[in-house]
């Protein structure tokens, strides 16, 4: 959510930003919210003037009564009563206008960074850099589900009976490898100075709308029937929500945290679920990182954060690339974002395994997360990034460490988490 002052002072910037995001249907909202804001401020000003006048008249009633000017006192009382009725009507109108303004402001996209490439959708995202050599071995690499099943590491049939499509059982060494990756990602971030956290896995609707746009929420999140609770799609939601309506001490900034959680997503729409594989599923686990910082420092932390993910995957012997998200692929709250994609030697292409985002003050403005400086309070900036999500990370590891005899070589950094085991046969 942007600052209403920007619409008051320079609507053209807001409109140009909407055009860059190819959301021209939202252009009329800028003038609509501008006019509503003018009406709201006029209404508030009139109400304030009436309250001031009413207070003066009210204070004169006692003196008139003492001076036996009963008719005049009663006349003032009637006027005060009439003014009170008008004040209440104006107050109600203020509330209605404020709510309308908020609803529209929640839909108008955040101002993107000038470095963001302009493009309509993810097909126009821009590759920035590759890390590691994208090799294709001389032998065939089977589909990841076939590799895992050959190692007795997965049972999707049973999961279909217990839970339906989009769920899975991981078993034996594959299940252990999955958890080893998450544990390694956790310890890597702790070593980088991030505080480890396990957050709530359900959050209230006001936190949901504080951290993401409504269309995202509808497409992603499961609601608990009969309760104001949603299952999180990523721990960023509850981690940022932790600071809702708080004034964070300036001396505590930056706040850098890494969190573990299961994640739950509908994965509906055109993407669909994978019948056999683990790429698109309803449930997965993730190690996340978030940062709350001073506005002028957010781009520095953005650059640091995506590089951490690159290093984690390179330590797992997985080649990756950084892909800059274009304007049309940015969610409405984001200022700048990039995807980290892992190399698939089977498909001979890259696929997404993580995303890093700078949201400016959009989330903190919605959730009321501020800090206090010399000139008063102001909103902090928030960022988030996937350290490692599995089973997507697991797929990348299996394909890039698959050997001709059907075994999987375990990267050295995971040996301590696998009880010293170096290979899965």
Three-state DSSP at 406 gives coil
Mean pLDDT of 157-168: 93
Q: Residues spanned by CATH 1.10.287.40 within the chain?
A: 4-105
Cβ proximity of 14 and 108 under 8 Å: yes
pLDDT of residue 268: 60
d(CA 239, CA 340) in angstroms, rounded, equals 22
pLDDT at position 274 is 61
Residue of higher predicted confidence among 64 and 226: 226
Residues 345-359 as b or e (16 or more Cβ within 10 Å = b): bbeeebeebbbbbbb
Q: What is the DSSP string of 59-79?
A: HHHHHHHHTT-HHHHHHHHHH
Question: Residue 394 in 3-state DSSP?
Answer: helix
Token pair belonging to 198: 């396990």
Residue 43 tokens, joined: 């209404």
Closest CA relative to residue 34, chosen from 4, 76, 78: 4
* Pair 23, 120: CB distance under 8 Å: no
Phi, psi of 421 (to 5 degrees): -65, 135
What mean pLDDT is predicted for residues 132-138?
A: 95
In whole angstroms, give the CA distance from residue 29 to residue 35.
10
Other Cβ atoms closer than 10 A to 255: 18
- DSSP code per residue over 119-178: -SSGGG-EEEEEES-----SS----HHHHHHHTT-EEHHHHHHHT-TT--EE-HHHHHHH
Q: Regarding the domain delimited by 122-424, which CATH topology (the fold level of the hierarchy) does it fall under?
A: BirA Bifunctional Protein; domain 2 (3.30.930)
CA-to-CA separations, 222 to 107, 180, 228, 269, 352, in angstroms, rounded: 21, 28, 11, 15, 23
389: closest CA among 300, 292, 281?
281
CA 395 from centre of chain:
24
- pLDDT-derived band at 381 (thresholds 50, 70, 90) equals very high
Output the average pLDDT for the chain: 93
Looking at residue 270, what is its pLDDT? Answer: 46
Three-state DSSP at 285 gives strand
Tell me how long the chain is: 425
pTM as predicted: 0.89
> Is residue 22 predicted with pLDDT exceeding 50?
yes
Give the three-class secondary structure for 211: helix
Residues of the chain with pLDDT > 70, as a percent, come to 97
Q: What's the start-to-end Cα distance of the chain, in Å?
A: 52
Count the helices and strands in the chain (H runs, E runs).
13, 18
Q: How far apart are CA 146 and CA 132, in angstroms?
A: 26
Enumerate the CATH 3.30.930.10 domain ranges in the chain, comma separated: 122-424
**Strand 169-170 relative to strand 202-203, pairing:** unpaired
Alpha carbon 243 to its chain centroid, in Å, reads: 14
Across 276-316, where does the E strand assignment appear? 283-293
Q: Are 138 and 121 in contact (CB under 8 A)?
A: no
On whether the CB atoms of residues 30 and 11 are closer than 8 A, the answer is yes
Strand partners, 169: 155
pLDDT tier, 258 (very low <50, low <70, confident <90, very high otherwise): very high
Report the distance separating Cα 308 and Cα 258, nearest Å. Answer: 12
* Residue 299 token pair: 């781009």
- Tell me: the pLDDT tens digits for 185-218? 999 999 999 999 999 999 999 999 999 877 777 7
CATH number given to 4-105: 1.10.287.40
Q: Dump pLDDT digits (tens) for 260-314.
A: 999 999 976 545 556 678 988 999 999 999 999 999 999 999 999 999 999 999 9
């Amino acid at each position: 959510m942007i600052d209403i002052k920007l619409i008051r002072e320079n609507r053209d910037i807001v409109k140009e930003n909407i055009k860059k995001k190819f959301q021209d249907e939202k252009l009329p909202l800028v003038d609509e919210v501008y006019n509503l804001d003018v009406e709201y401020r006029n209404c508030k000003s009139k109400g304030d003037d009436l309250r001031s006048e009413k207070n003066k008249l009210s204070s004169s009633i006692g003196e008139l009564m003492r001076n036996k000017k009963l008719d005049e006192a009663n006349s003032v009382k009637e006027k005060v009563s009439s003014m009170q009725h008008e004040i209440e009507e104006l107050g109600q109108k203020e509330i209605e206008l404020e709510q309308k303004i908020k609803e529209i402001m929640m839909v108008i996209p955040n101002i993107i960074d000038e470095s963001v490439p302009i493009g309509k959708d993810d097909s126009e995202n821009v590759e920035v850099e590759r890390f590691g050599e994208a090799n294709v071995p001389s032998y065939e690499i089977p589909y990841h589900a076939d590799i895992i099943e050959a190692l007795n590491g997965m049972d999707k049939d049973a999961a279909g009976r217990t839970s339906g499509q989009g769920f899975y059982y991981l078993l034996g060494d594959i299940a252990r490898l999955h958890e080893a990756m998450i544990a390694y990602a956790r310890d890597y971030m702790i070593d980088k100075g991030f505080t480890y956290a396990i957050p709530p896995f359900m959050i209230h609707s006001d936190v949901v709308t504080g951290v993401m746009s409504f269309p995202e929420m509808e497409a992603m999140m499961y609601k608990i029937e009969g309760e104001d609770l949603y299952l999180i799609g990523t721990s960023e939601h509850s981690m940022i929500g932790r600071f809702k309506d708080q004034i964070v001490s300036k001396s505590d900034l930056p706040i850098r945290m890494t969190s573990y959680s299961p994640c739950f997503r509908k994965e509906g729409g055109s993407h669909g679920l994978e019948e056999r594989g683990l790429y698109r599923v309803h449930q997965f686990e993730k190690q996340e990182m978030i940062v709350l910082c001073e506005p002028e420092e957010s781009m520095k932390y953005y650059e640091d954060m995506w590089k951490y993910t690159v290093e984690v995957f390179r330590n797992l012997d997985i080649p990756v690339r950084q892909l800059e998200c274009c304007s049309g692929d940015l969610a409405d709250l984001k200022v700048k974002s990039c995807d980290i994609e892992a190399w698939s030697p089977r498909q001979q292409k890259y696929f997404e395994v993580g995303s890093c985002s700078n949201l400016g003050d959009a989330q903190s403005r919605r959730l009321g997360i501020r800090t206090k400086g010399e000139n008063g309070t102001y909103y902090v900036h928030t960022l988030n990034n996937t350290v490692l999500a599995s089973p997507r990370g697991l797929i990348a590891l299996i394909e890039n460490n698959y050997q001709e005899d059907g075994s999987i070589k375990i990267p050295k950094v995971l040996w301590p988490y696998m009880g010293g085991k170096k290979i899965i046969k």
